[in-house]
Structure 1
Amino acid sequence: MDPLATHDEAAADMPEARGPAERILNQEEIDSLLGFDLSDDEDADRTGIRAIINSALVSYERLPMLEIVFDRLVRLMTTSLRNFTSDNVEVSLDNISSIRFGDYLNSIPLPAILAVFRAEELDNYGLLAVDSNLIYSIVDVLLGGRRGTAALRIEGRPYTTIERVLVQRMVEVVLNDARAAFEPLTPVHFNLDRLETNPRFAAIARPANAAILVKLRIDMEDRGGRIELLLPYATLEPIRKMLLQQFMGEKFGRDNIWEGHLATELWTTQLEVRAVLDEHQVPLGQVLNLKVGDTLMLNAGPDSPVALRCGPVNLTQGRMGRRGQHIALKVEQPPSAQAVQRAARGER
């Protein structure tokens, strides 16, 4: 028997000779690391790698005015859709979230009708998605379907012209309510651009761009469905300062007491001004050769206008004279407001 082989087998059986055992992650730990959890709903807080990826998204909570606008939209839609359907309609706001545009397009449950609309004053687009449950419910209500019966769904066929026209009328009602919801904040007109059934043809932003997603639930007794309103951050950027307000009409940095104090101090501020008789450009060599007793000839006469300056800015003009034992300047016209502002900023 080989003594070396016996020694190797004995060393292999010793616990100290073994390296640290490799620990294999189970599926639950892998899902937690990647940020996936099938047991939670889609609104739950993400963890792991997905949380790091989504950290670049701007949370809608940083725009407090958005929630006020959409709460107003819910109240307006409740009234307008009741008038539109002549039925008891209840509109509720499910949630407001931030999402990437590409992720949203991939998550749209099909079949659905996607309404692309344009925000005229904001010079950009938005997206309104109507799910199939609401489409068939609206068609059933508007065409006289009986109450107490669920809307009949026929899968596997495209939407008919009648269905598209009825949904278009409902979308126009919702967009008009959205205009009224934004009206106290800023005037914005939302005009319907087109209706699409394929999400690829409803691309209004790059897949990586962030957007605000608003999910609305519409219930008509035993019928109803969802409307999802998507506004890219690029669309909201022109009114971002307004959306940062905590309440409607909030003013930032306005203090009447401080304004009065500042105005009082400005009136007592000492300002140095210079009366310039004439300017003459000479070569540097001539200036270096100047001696005591040399005479500089000016092009100004006794009646020539004299410029009154504050630093490099010309404030006004006047005439040279004498008052007692002092040389005086008579101002002929008041300083312009633009010249005073430039002098205060130190501009030329």
Structure 2
Amino acid sequence: MTEEAPDDFEEFVEFKLPDPPVIGGAEGGTFDQASIDALFGGGGGAEPQRVGLRAVLESEIINHERLPMLEVVCERMVRALSTSMRTLTSDSIDISLDDVTTARFGDFMDRVTLPAMIAVIRVEQWENYGIITVDSGLIYAIVDALLGGKRGTQIMIDGRDFTTIETALVARVLRLAIFEFSTALAPIAPVTIKLERIETNPRFAAIARPSNIGAICTFRVDIDGRGGRFSMMFPQATIEPVRDKLAQRFMGDTAGRESIWPDHMRQQMLATQVELSVLLGEIALPLEHVQALEIGQNLSFHTEPSQRMTMQCGGLTMAQVRAGQRRGNLAVSLATPISRGKQP
């Protein structure tokens, strides 16, 4: 005989939860990759194989091409910008070059830590754009230094939007950095770089496709114990006009070209003496007649004095001339301009 439940008894349904995955094997050993994938939901089936154009466009491998001359330009910019910043802020400023590397534009923009300022610059001679990103730590350090803040203190970043005054002060420093960069680049390629605008949203500063590759120069700025980093990013399409020059290993003060030796070679070549010959005439003779030639024998070329003759140098036809006399000597006058081509 069973006891019935009362009418007000709440009916419960029993659910059975699945057993949690065993991590580290049955014996509770060390973690392996399969256990980590089971814990974080990773792993699964293998990714579909990428072939053809899809494999090229979505490839994560970047062929890094070193640009030694770009590193030289950045080093020159660091020295000049340090002096200019000390004059502007009257503070002790240390600027160093962190790295010169290559990355995709999309990956570079994803690594920008917000809030930040993203400046769009335009290189007029190359008719293309570049990007300068300034992190929030450097922004507040610049504002604090230009407005006379207390030295040696780091302002706490509250994540608010940047004011008009802060944007104007950072733009002043950016124009100074752009000027020093263009000055350092002048021995390789004289360019004019202008600051187009300053954005705070990376979507509004998209100057290239996410898959495009570009050169990135990262700098570290320390202003009395406070500061941060700023990076300059130039897509490959922007630096393509001078990519060959930036890939050089050595460069003099005049971009690897000295004017002394070309001028010296030109002067020496102009002073070199050359021997010219004038072909008075030609006749065709059989070999047996040539073998029968004797001393004092006359040959008639059937050439008239007014007829043009060929002047040669080293077997190369230079011009057509006419024969004559000058001061008792046999002379020729040019009938056609000097030419390296074959005269008719």
TM bin, normalised by shorter chain, reads 0.5 to 0.7
Relative to structure 1, the CA distance from residue 275 to residue 201 in structure 2 (aligned partners, 3 Å threshold; closer, same or farther) is farther
Q: Is 2:191 the partner of 1:185?
A: no
Aligned mate of 2:198, from 181, 195, 198: 195
Identity rate, percent: 37
Residues 76-225 of structure 1: pairs in structure 2 closer than 5 A: 76-155=80-159, 157-225=160-228
Q: Are the aligned partners of 1:57 and 1:99 in contact in 2 as well (CA < 8 Å)?
A: no
State the Cα distance separating 1:131 from its structure 2 match.
0.8
Structure of greater Rg: 2
Hey, what's the Cα distance between the residues in 2 that align with 1:247 and 1:308? 44
State the Cα distance separating 1:55 from its structure 2 match.
4.3
Counterpart amino acid of residue 160 in structure 1: T
Regions of 4+ moved over 3 Å: 24-30, 52-56, 249-252, 266-269, 271-276, 301-310, 313-321, 334-337
SS at match of 1:147: coil
Deviation by residue 1:118-145 (Cα, 9 ceiling, x = unmatched): 1223332211111111111111222221
Alignment correspondent of 1:12: none
Counterpart amino acid of residue 105 in structure 1: M
Q: Is 2:252 the partner of 1:248?
A: yes
Q: Are the aligned partners of 2:117 and 2:200 in contact in 1 as well (CA < 8 Å)?
A: yes
Q: Are the aligned partners of 2:217 and 2:232 in contact in 1 as well (CA < 8 Å)?
A: yes
Alignment correspondent of 2:78: 74
Hey, what's the Cα distance between the residues in 2 that align with 1:67 and 1:334? 57
Deviation by residue 1:40-67 (Cα, 9 ceiling, x = unmatched): xxxxxxxxx9xx945443422xx22121
Unaligned runs of 5+ in 1: 1-23, 35-48, 277-300, 322-329
Structure with greater helix percent: 1
Deviation by residue 1:97-133 (Cα, 9 ceiling, x = unmatched): 1111121122211111111111223332211111111
State the Cα distance separating 1:335 from its structure 2 match.
5.7
Structure 1 stretch 211-220 or stretch 182-191: which is displaced more?
182-191
Alignment correspondent of 1:333: 334
Alignment correspondent of 1:232: 235
CA RMSD in angstroms, aligned pairs only: 4.3
State the Cα distance separating 1:146 from its structure 2 match.
1.4
Deviation by residue 1:16-60 (Cα, 9 ceiling, x = unmatched): xxxxxxxx9545998xx99xxxxxxxxxxxxxx9xx945443422
TM-score computed with the length of structure 2 as normaliser: 0.62
Relative to structure 1, the CA distance from residue 153 to residue 275 in structure 2 (aligned partners, 3 Å threshold; closer, same or farther) is farther
Residues 10-49 of structure 1: pairs in structure 2 closer than 5 A: 26=34
State the Cα distance separating 1:191 from its structure 2 match.
1.2
State the Cα distance separating 1:193 from its structure 2 match.
1.2
State the Cα distance separating 1:152 from its structure 2 match.
3.6
TM-score computed with the length of structure 1 as normaliser: 0.62
Q: Is 2:63 the partner of 1:57?
A: yes
